[in-house]
Structure 1
Amino acid sequence: MQYAAHAAAMSGQGAGVPGAPPGPSGTIPELIGREAELAELRSLFGIGNTPAVTDRDHVFVLVRGGFGSGKSALLRALLDEARADDRAVLDSWADPGDSRTDHAVLRQLLESAPPAPSVRPSGEPPEDGAYHRSLDTVVARLAAGARRPLICVDDLQWADAASLRLLRRLMRRADGSPPAVIASLGPGESPDEDALGAVLPLFRDHVSLAPFAPHATGALLARTLGHDADQAFLNTCQQATDGNHLLLRSVLGALAATPPQPGPDTAGGERTVSVALGALLPELAPAVRSLLRGTGAHSEAVAGAVAVLGSPRPVELIAEVASVPQPATEDAVHTLVRAGLLHQYEQGVGIAASLLSDAVEQFVPPSRRQELHAGAARFLLGRVAAPEQVAHHLLHCAPGQPFAPEVLRRAAAEASDAGAHDRAALYLRRALREPQTEEERAAVLCLLGEAELESSVPTAIDELRRSLQLSMGPSEQTSAARRLAGALFAVDRYLDALDVLERTSAAIRPVDPAYALRLEIDFLFISLVELASAARAYPRLMDLAMTDASGTAVERPLAALLSLRGAMVGEDAEEVVRLARIALAHGLAPADDESVVYHCAMLALGAAGRPDLAHDYAEAAIDEARARGAVFQYAHAVAMRGNANARLGRTLECEADAEAALEALLEVGVPLGSSHTVFAVATLIESLTRQGRVEEAQSLLERSGMDGQLHPYWINDYPLLARGWLRVEQGRLEEGLADFLACGARTVARNMPAPGFYPWRSEAALVHVRLGHAEEAVRLAEEEVALARRWGVPEMTAVALRALGIVTGGPEGLQKLDEAVRALETSFARFRYAQALADRGALAMRCSRIPEARADLQEAVSVAHACNAGVVAQGALRELRALGDRPRTRTFQGVDALTPTERRVADLAAGGMTNREIAQHLFVGLRTVEIHLTHVYGKLGIKGRQGLAETLR
C-alpha cells in the first residue's frame, strides 16, 4: 500500500463509482477499469444486492497482481462497499518495513475492528497466544451479528511470520465458522517463505489482475477525455503504460492536468502526452525505486541495466554489464518478471512500459549509464555481433574504447547499404570523437560527407573539404576530391568542382598517373557543363583513348566518357554501344566507383539507337537504389528510364517515370528549378506535349522556372528542345524556332555536331517551312541528313529524312518519307514511326495517292494510339476526315486502347490488389499506379474500380 500514496499524489484521489469519468475537479478515481473483477468479488462475498455464488463456509479469496496492477485499490473499493452493506470489516496493509516486526499485521486488524471494550493484550512483548485470544474474541463478537465478518490483508507477501501463523489458525478454525478472508499477493520477498507457504494453499478462490488490453485502455481514455482517442494517441498511452493500472491512472491524471499542446490534431495530441509523461517521471521514479529495493538485493542494479540498454537483452549481457553474478541476475530477473516489472521475450528481458523504463533510468547516474553501454559494446563485440548492434551502445558511452573507430565505420557502411544514411552519419560523427591518426580521420570525414550528401549537401561539402585537407596518399586524395567535386556539382558550383579536380589531379600525377586520370575523367565531364570550360577541355577529350587506362580500374569510367564523346561528334555508333556496355558492366552506380560520369553511357546508348539497353540498365539501377535507399541515385535512374521510354515511344511510362523522379527529389527538399530536376522536367514536358496536354506542360514549365532565359549549362539544352516542341504545339512558331536554334548554337559550341542527342536542325527546318522560309528549311534538313547518315543510327537518319521529305514536298519528298518509314518500321522508336506514317499519308494525299494515304493515316492512328501520342493521332484523324472518312471522334476507347502497362495494372486492380500493393508488385511509385488507373478508367468509360473486372472480360 505504500505505492497508493504515490498514485494518489500523481493522479488525484477521487471517490465515486470505480472507472467513472473524472469529476469537475479533474481528479481520477482510485480504481479504474476493474469493474469485472470488483463484480466477481461482490459475488464471492455476497456484498450488496449480489447473491453469493457459493454457500461454502470457507470463503477465502486471493487477489494476485504485479506492480501497479490495482490490487490495493480493488481491495479498498470492495471494503468500502462491504462497510456500506453493514458488513463488519477488519483490514490491514502489510509493509516491507514492518515485515520482521511480530504481529504487525494482527495489530492493524485489531485496531481496525469496530469500537468495543479493549481486547488488546497488555504487556510487552505479547505472546502469540495472547494475540490469538484477542483476535478470536473480536471475530466471535463480530460473528454474532447477522453476517460473517470480512478480514482483509493487502500485500500478504510482506506480512510478518507471527501474523501469518495466527491467520492460518483463524482460517482453520475447528468450529467450522471462520471469517471470510480476502488477501492480495504482489511482488516482493516474504520474511518467512515457510509461513507464507502454509497460508497460501488455504485460499480456494483466485482473482488475477492482468494489464489492460489496448481496447480497454482506449475505453478508459475515452472516459477521461470525453471522446474517443485517435489511434496514435491511444498507441502512445499504451506503449507508455503497457496497460498497467497505476501507470495508466497516473497518465490519465497527468493528462487531465495538462493543457492541450498546440499543433495539428495528431501532433498536438502526441505533444500533450509527452508533456504529461515528462511531468510524471520525478514523482514516479522514487516509488519505482522503493519497490525495486523491496524485491531483492540485486533488483535495482538489474532493472537499471535493462532500462538503460533498452529493448530485450539476454540475461548474460545484463549480468555482465551490471556486475552481478549470473545466477543472482537470473534470480533477480525471475523475481522482477513475476512482479510485472520485467517481461520475458524470446530475445531476452525488457521493460514493456516505456514510462516505467524511463522512471527506472531516472535514478541511474549519467556516468553509470555510459559504463553500462561501454560494457554492452564490449560484450557484443566479443560475441561477434553485427557492427550496428555494437555501435548503438558506442553512441552512448564516452570515447576511449580502442575498438570504437573501426566498429563505427563498419556500422556506418552497414547503415548506408541499407539506405539509412542519417544513421550512417550519426555513427561517423561519433567516430570523429575517438582518438585517431590524421589519415584515419580523413577517411571518416570522407565517408561522413558521402553519407550527408543524401540529406544536407552544404554540410557534406564542409566535411568532404576537411577530408581532402587531411588525406595523405593518392587513393585517399582521389576519393576525397571526387566526392567533394560531386557535392559541389550537386549544388551547381561547377567552377569550384573543376578547381578541386584539377589541383588534386596535378598534385598526384607524378606519384600515380592512374588516379590522376580518374580525376581528369570527372574534370572533363564537368567541363562540358559550361561553354567556356567545354572549349578548353575539348582538345584533351579528343586525345583520350581506351589504351590510356589499359589494365587499370579506370577503364570503366573512361569508357563512359568516350562513349559520350562518340555520340557527341558522331563516331561509329556500334563502337559507342560497345564502350557504353563496358562502362555499365557494374551498373549505373557501381559501389566501387560511384560517379555521374556513368550517366554519359546511358545517354550515349539512347543517342546510338539502343534505348532498349538504356532502359534495362536504368531498371537495374532503380532496383539497386530502392534496396539501398539512395534517393538521388533512384531519382536519376528513374529519370533515365523515363527518357529511354520517350525514345521507345512509351509516352505514359515516360510520364510516370519523370513524375516519380520529381516526387523523389521534392521529397528530400530539392526544389523544382534545380539542376537535379531539369532533366526529369524536360522529359515530362516532352511526354505531355506528345499527348496534347499543352496546358499542363506550360504550367510545369512555369513552375520549374524554365519559361524564360535559360543559363547556358549543358543540362539546359534538352529543356530548350522540349520547350520548342511545346511552343510549336501551342502555335507559337517563332518562339519554338528560337528555342531550337538556341539549342543548336549551344551544341555546336560544345563541338556536338551529331544529331543523336538533339535533332535540332530537323525540328527547326519543320518550323522554318511553316513560316515560309523554305530555303533555310531545306538547308538545315539536308545538313542533318548528312550528319545522321554519317552517324549511322537508323532512327536519327529517319528523323532527318522525315523533316527533309516534309520541307521538300511532292514526289521527291514522298520518297524521303518512304525511306524514313522503312527505317523506323522495325526500330524501337514507335512515336517517330507514327509521326513518319502520318506525314507520309498527308503528303501522299496531296500527291493524289489516296489509297496509300488512307492506309498510312489509319496505321498512324493505330500506332499513335498504342503510344498514347494524342497529337499525332488527332492530326492523322483530321487528314482522314479530309479524305471523307468518318472515324470515331474518340479513338482512345475500350479495352483495345489500353497499353500493355495499363492492361497489366488494370488486371492487378481487378484482381483485388490495392494501389500500394500494385506499386510494390511492379516496383513503381504509388503515383505511377494512380496515373495508369486514371487512364484506364478514362479509356474504359468507368468511374473507378467498380465494374473494372467485368469491363476487362
Structure 2
Amino acid sequence: MTGDAASGPAWRSDPVGREAELADLHRMSGIGGGTAPAATAAAAAAASDPVTDSDHAFVLVRGGHGSGKSALVRTLLGEARAEGRTVLAAWAERAAGRDRFAVLRQLHAAARPDAAARPDSAVQPPADGHPAELAALLATPGTRPLLCIEDLQWADGASLRALRRLMRRADADGRTPAVIATLGPGEAVDEEALGALLPLFHEQLDLLPLSPDAIRALLAAAGRRAPDGPLVHACLEATGGNRFLLLSLLAALDADRTGEEAVTNAVRGLALELAPTAASLLRSSGPHAEPLARTLAVLGTPQPVELVADVTGVPLPAAEDTAHVLERAGLLRRCGRGVRLAATLLSNAVEQSVPPSRRKELHALAARFLLDRAAPPDQVAHHVVHAAPGLPFAAEVLRRAAVEATDAGTPDRAARLLRSALREPLTERQRSAVLSLLGEAELESSVPTAIEGLRRSLRLSNGPGERTSAARRLAGALFAVDRYLDALDVLERTSTAIRPVDPAYALRLEIDFLFVSLVEVSSAARTHPRLMALAMSEAGEASVVRPLAALLSLRGAMVGEDPAEVVRLARLALGNGMAPADDESVVYHCAVLALGAAGRPDLAHEYADAAVAEARARGAVFQYSHAISTRGNANARMGRIPDCRADAEAALEALQEVGVPLGASHTVFAVATLVEALTRQGLVDEAQSLLDRSGMDGHLQPYWINDYPLIARGWLRTAQDRPEDALADFLDCGARTGARNMPGPGFYPWRSEAALVHARLGRADEALRLAEEEVELARTWAVPEMQGVALRALGLVTGGPRGRELLDEAVGILKQSPARFRYAQALADRGLVGIRCGRVTEGRADLKEAASIAHACGAFGLAEAALRELRALGDRPRTRTFQGVGALTPTERRVAALAADGMTNRQIAGHLFVGLRTVEIHLTHVYAKLGIKGRRELVDALA
C-alpha cells in the first residue's frame, strides 16, 4: 500500500478497477484511448504534422495510498511510447527531497542514457533552470516529448521551480512538452514551490475510492459469476474502496465460499499479512499516527478525536493534525463528530500489533473518559464490556445501560450487558438485582431487533388502549429511523381496525397519522382532504382534545386560516405544556410554532420557556433541546437575534454532549435557527461553516424538517451575494410547501424572498408576480408580520413613489408588531427608496432609525448596511464597536451571568446540559475578553 507498488498477490501493474479513470486520463492528455499505430508510423506522423494542443496537456493525478495512480500513469506512458512520443519519467522519493535537482537528474538520465553512466554527468542547470541537454531535446522538432513525475509532494524545490518555468513557456515558444504528474499524501518537501506549480495543471483527475459498480466488475473479472449486492457491499466495507486493499482481498478470496462469509475469512487471513505494510504507512504519516490508528482499531466504532487524544496521551492539537494527515492519505474517515479507520481490513491489520492486555487498557481508558463527561451509559458500557473486570464503576454502568436497552426495545442487548455485569465483583445484593433484570430481559431475548419486537407487541396487544399505545410506540420507532411510510401504514391500519370498537382511540391514532403524513410530500398530498375535513367536534373524549387542537392549530398556520382561531387552538392544545407527561408527542411543539406564525411569538416564547425550565428540572436532554430551539425560533421572530443565537447554540451543545452529531434529525431545526441568527448578525462565514459541518450545504431530502434550512440557507446565500443559489433555495422551499398544500406565508415567506432576488437579477415580471401573490395571501392571513414582509417586498420590487407608499404601509404595520428586525428592514428600505425619489431628509431619518433598531436587535449586518448608506450621503455616524461585555458571545454571556449569580462550574454544566470542560472553556474566554482574573471580578465586570 506504499504508493501503488506492493509485494504479494495483489500487485498489479495494469489499471484494473480504474478503467473509467483511464478513459478520463486519455481525454485529458490526448494520449491513447484507441488502437495505437506502430511506433515508427506515429513518429513519422509526428514529424510531419503540426504540434496540437493535446501534445502539451498538463495533467495532475491525485490519489491516496493504494489508489492506483502509479498503475494509471504507467499504462499511459506505455501508450505514449507506442504512439512514438519521447517519454521522460522520474519518481520523486522522500529521501531525495533535499537533494537539489534530484528529479531533473532523473529526467536528464532518461533523456541522455549514455551520459548517465559518465562520472561527470552531474546536472549543471543553466540560468533558465533546467538542464541544457533536456532543453535541447525538448526543442527538437517531431519529438512530441512527454514528461512524467510521480509523487510531486516529495520532489525537491529546485526541480519543481524548474518544471514551473518550463511549463510557463508554452505560450512563448510552443515547445513545452506534455506533463503528467501524480500527487499523493504526505507533507511536501517544499510547500511553496509545489503550491506555485500546481495551478499550472489545467486538468486534474482525483482518484476516489472504487465505486460499487467498479467492485462488481472486478469481482466478475476475478471469476465471481454475477456477484450479488451483499458480496459487493462486504468488499466495500472491508476495503473502503481502496484499490490496493481490494486487489489483495480478491487474490485471497476462497473460490469455494461466497458472500460475506468469503470476505470475512479473507479479511481474517490477510490482516496479519498486511500488518507490516500498515505499520510502515503509519510511521511515514507522522510520530503520532501509529498510536492514534492503533487506538481507533481497538475501540472500533467512530470515536471523537478528543477521546483518542486523551486515551493515547497525545496533545489534542497534535491529534487533530495527525487525523487530518491520515484523512488526506485515505487511511481515516470522518463520521459525524467521530473518526475511524477507512476500512475493516486496514483496522484489522493495525490491531494485530496491539497486545490483548493493551486492548483492554485502551477500552478502560475510553470508558473513564466518557464517564467523566457524563456520556450516556450505553456509550460507556460499549468499552466496559471489553475492558478487564474490576473497574469500580463497571457494574453500575452496565446495569443502567441494560435498563435503557430494555426501555428501547432491545432486550437481547440488555441481556448481553447484564451477563457482562455478572463477571464483575458484586455483593450478594447486587448480584441478585442483576440476575432479576437478566431474567426479565431474557423473556424476549430471541427478538433480533427493537422494531420487530414492537411489531410483536402490537400483534399480541389486547383492547383498544393497549393496541393504540403499541401502535404509537412502533410508529415512533419507525419515524425515528426515517421509515415514514411504514409508520403511516401501522397507524392507518390500527386506527381502521379499532374504529368500530373505540372511535376515540382510533382518532388519537389518526391524529398521529395525519401529522406524520405531513413529513413526506406524497403522503401529505394523499391525506390532505382528510386533514382539511377534520374538526374539533370529532373530539368525543377529553383525552383527544389537546392533540387534536394541536394538529388543527398547525393546519391553520400552514394553510392560512383565521389567526385568532389558530391562537385559540394552540392555547387549548398547550394546556399541559409542550411535553405533557400523559401524551408525549411532537405535535405539541408544532402548536408552539403555529403561535409564532399566527403573530404571537410572545406566547410561543412563553410556552417554550416553561418547557425549557421543566426539561432542565427533569434532566431530559432531548426535551430540553427541542424546547430551547423552539424558544430560539420565537426570539428570531421577535428580532432578539443574540438570544436566538444563544438558544440555538445551547440546543446543539446539549445534543452534542450526548453524542448526537450535527446533521442528525434532532439537530436540523437548531442548525437552521442558528444559521438564521448568524446571518442576521453578519457572520456569514460562521453560518457557512455550520452548514458545511452539519452536511446541510448540498441537497436536502424532501422532508418537512428540511424546509426551514432551505429558507435560512437562502438568506445566507443572499448575504453572500450568491443570488442564483439563493433563488434556487427559495423556489425549492416554495415547491415543497406547495406540494404539501401549505400556501400560507406564516411559516416560510418564500415568495417575498424569491421576488427580491428575481428583481436583483433583472427579472422584473416574475418578481412582481410573486410579490403581488404574497401580498394577497398575507392580507387574507391578516398577521401583521407577514403583511409587513410581503408589502416590503412588493414596495422594493415596484420602486419609485408607488414603491415608497407600499413601504410606508409596511413600516406602519410592522411598527405595531413584535417583529422588530422586520420593522428595521422595512425602515431601511423605505429610506433608500425615499432617497432615490428625492426625499433625502426623510430617507436619512429612516436609515438612522433602522440602524439604531437593528443594533438593538443584534442584527449587526443590517445595521452596518444602513450606516454605509448614511456615509454615502456624507453623514459620519459613529461605528459601534464592542469591548468588554459587548465582545462576549451569547453563550459566554449566559455562562458568565450564571457564574456571577454564584453557581459552581458543575452546577452551570448541569443547568445548561453541557460538560464541565465546556463551562471551563467558556469562562476562560469570558475572563480574557473582560480583562479580569477570575470569578470574583465577574459581578463588577458585567455591571
Please tell me the TM-score bracket, short chain as reference.
0.5 to 0.7
Deviation at 1:813, TM superposition (A): 1.6
Cα distance change, pair 481–813 in 1 and its aligned pair in 2 (3 A): same
Per the alignment, residue 779 of structure 1 pairs with 769
Match of 2:433 among 389, 395, 402: 395
> How do 1:350-365 and structure 2 match up within 5 A?
none
In structure 1, distance between residues paired with 2:599 and 2:821: 14
**Does the 8 Å contact 1:656/1:927 carry over to 2?**
no
> How do 1:292-441 and structure 2 match up within 5 A?
369=428, 373=429, 395-396=433-434, 430-431=439-440
Match of 1:886 among 869, 876, 880: 876
In structure 1, distance between residues paired with 2:743 and 2:711: 15
**Does the 8 Å contact 1:657/1:928 carry over to 2?**
no
Per the alignment, residue 463 of structure 1 pairs with 453
Match of 2:512 among 506, 509, 522: 522
Deviation at 1:667, TM superposition (A): 3.4
**Does the 8 Å contact 1:468/1:480 carry over to 2?**
yes
In structure 2, distance between residues paired with 1:937 and 1:875: 32
Amino acid at match of 1:764: A
**Does the 8 Å contact 1:609/1:794 carry over to 2?**
yes
**Does the 8 Å contact 1:660/1:928 carry over to 2?**
no
Deviation at 1:625, TM superposition (A): 2.3
**Does the 8 Å contact 2:616/2:911 carry over to 1?**
no
Cα distance change, pair 944–486 in 1 and its aligned pair in 2 (3 A): same
In structure 1, distance between residues paired with 2:474 and 2:929: 50
Amino acid at match of 1:820: A
In structure 2, distance between residues paired with 1:548 and 1:521: 11
**Does the 8 Å contact 2:654/2:912 carry over to 1?**
no
SS of residue paired to 1:624: helix
Match of 2:605 among 611, 615, 619: 615
SS of residue paired to 2:661: coil
Per the alignment, residue 557 of structure 1 pairs with 547
Per the alignment, residue 785 of structure 2 pairs with 795
In structure 2, distance between residues paired with 1:550 and 1:668: 41
Match of 1:824 among 814, 819, 824: 814
Aligned Cα root-mean-square deviation (Å): 4.0
Show CA shifts across 1:643-685 (max 9, x none). Answer: 1121122222222222222233333343322222211111111
Amino acid at match of 2:873: L
SS of residue paired to 1:688: helix
Is 1:862 the counterpart of 2:852? The answer is yes
Match of 2:829 among 827, 831, 839: 839
**Does the 8 Å contact 1:656/1:928 carry over to 2?**
no
**Does the 8 Å contact 1:690/1:872 carry over to 2?**
yes
In structure 2, distance between residues paired with 1:870 and 1:787: 31
Show CA shifts across 1:100-155 (max 9, x none). Answer: xxxxxxxxxxxxxxxxxxxxxxxxxxxxxxxxxxxxxxxxxxxxxxxxxxxxxxxx
Is 1:754 the counterpart of 2:744? The answer is yes
In structure 1, distance between residues paired with 2:359 and 2:541: 69
- Point out where structure 1 has 5 or more consecutive residues left out of the alignment: 1-231, 233-257, 281-309, 311-357, 374-391, 399-426, 435-440, 450-457
SS of residue paired to 2:627: helix
Show CA shifts across 1:337-366 (max 9, x none). Answer: xxxxxxxxxxxxxxxxxxxxx99989x9xx
SS of residue paired to 1:848: coil
Deviation at 1:583, TM superposition (A): 0.8
- Point out where structure 2 has 5 or more consecutive residues left out of the alignment: 1-310, 312-356, 370-382, 393-398, 400-421
> How do 1:36-47 and structure 2 match up within 5 A?
none
Amino acid at match of 2:433: L
**Does the 8 Å contact 1:679/1:719 carry over to 2?**
yes
In structure 1, distance between residues paired with 2:688 and 2:910: 32
Per the alignment, residue 315 of structure 1 pairs with none
Deviation at 1:499, TM superposition (A): 0.9
In structure 1, distance between residues paired with 2:391 and 2:555: 67
SS of residue paired to 1:875: helix
Cα distance change, pair 514–760 in 1 and its aligned pair in 2 (3 A): same
In structure 1, distance between residues paired with 2:368 and 2:543: 56
In structure 1, distance between residues paired with 2:435 and 2:917: 44
Once the two structures are overlaid, the 10-residue window that deviates more, 901-910 or 482-491, is 901-910
Cα distance change, pair 902–867 in 1 and its aligned pair in 2 (3 A): farther
SS of residue paired to 1:698: helix
Is 1:263 the counterpart of 2:355? The answer is no
Is 1:584 the counterpart of 2:574? The answer is yes
SS of residue paired to 2:578: coil
In structure 1, distance between residues paired with 2:832 and 2:676: 24
**Does the 8 Å contact 1:569/1:751 carry over to 2?**
yes
Deviation at 1:615, TM superposition (A): 1.6
- Decide which structure has the larger Cα Rg and report it: 1
**Does the 8 Å contact 1:778/1:804 carry over to 2?**
yes
In structure 1, distance between residues paired with 2:424 and 2:751: 76
In structure 2, distance between residues paired with 1:907 and 1:268: 33
**Does the 8 Å contact 1:865/1:897 carry over to 2?**
no
Deviation at 1:805, TM superposition (A): 1.4
Cα distance change, pair 621–707 in 1 and its aligned pair in 2 (3 A): same
Is 1:474 the counterpart of 2:464? The answer is yes
Cα distance change, pair 577–925 in 1 and its aligned pair in 2 (3 A): farther
Per the alignment, residue 692 of structure 1 pairs with 682
Cα distance change, pair 777–531 in 1 and its aligned pair in 2 (3 A): same
Cα distance change, pair 276–894 in 1 and its aligned pair in 2 (3 A): closer
SS of residue paired to 1:884: coil
SS of residue paired to 1:585: helix
In structure 1, distance between residues paired with 2:737 and 2:792: 22
> How do 1:87-126 and structure 2 match up within 5 A?
none
Deviation at 1:736, TM superposition (A): 0.3
Amino acid at match of 2:798: T
Cα distance change, pair 791–924 in 1 and its aligned pair in 2 (3 A): farther
Cα distance change, pair 896–848 in 1 and its aligned pair in 2 (3 A): farther
Cα distance change, pair 361–394 in 1 and its aligned pair in 2 (3 A): closer
Show CA shifts across 1:812-856 (max 9, x none). Answer: 222222222222223221211221222122222222323322222
Match of 2:721 among 731, 734, 747: 731
Cα distance change, pair 754–695 in 1 and its aligned pair in 2 (3 A): same
In structure 2, distance between residues paired with 1:764 and 1:868: 25
Deviation at 1:807, TM superposition (A): 1.2
In structure 2, distance between residues paired with 1:537 and 1:752: 13
Show CA shifts across 1:354-407 (max 9, x none). Answer: xxxx99989x9xxxx5xxx5xxxxxxxxxxxxxxxxxx7863456xxxxxxxxx
**Aligned pair count?**
546
Deviation at 1:743, TM superposition (A): 0.6
**Does the 8 Å contact 1:666/1:672 carry over to 2?**
yes
Per the alignment, residue 221 of structure 1 pairs with none
Amino acid at match of 1:588: M
Per the alignment, residue 875 of structure 1 pairs with 865
**Does the 8 Å contact 2:885/2:942 carry over to 1?**
yes
SS of residue paired to 1:554: helix
In structure 2, distance between residues paired with 1:698 and 1:359: 50
Per the alignment, residue 643 of structure 2 pairs with 653
**Does the 8 Å contact 1:626/1:634 carry over to 2?**
yes
Deviation at 1:949, TM superposition (A): 5.1
Deviation at 1:882, TM superposition (A): 1.1
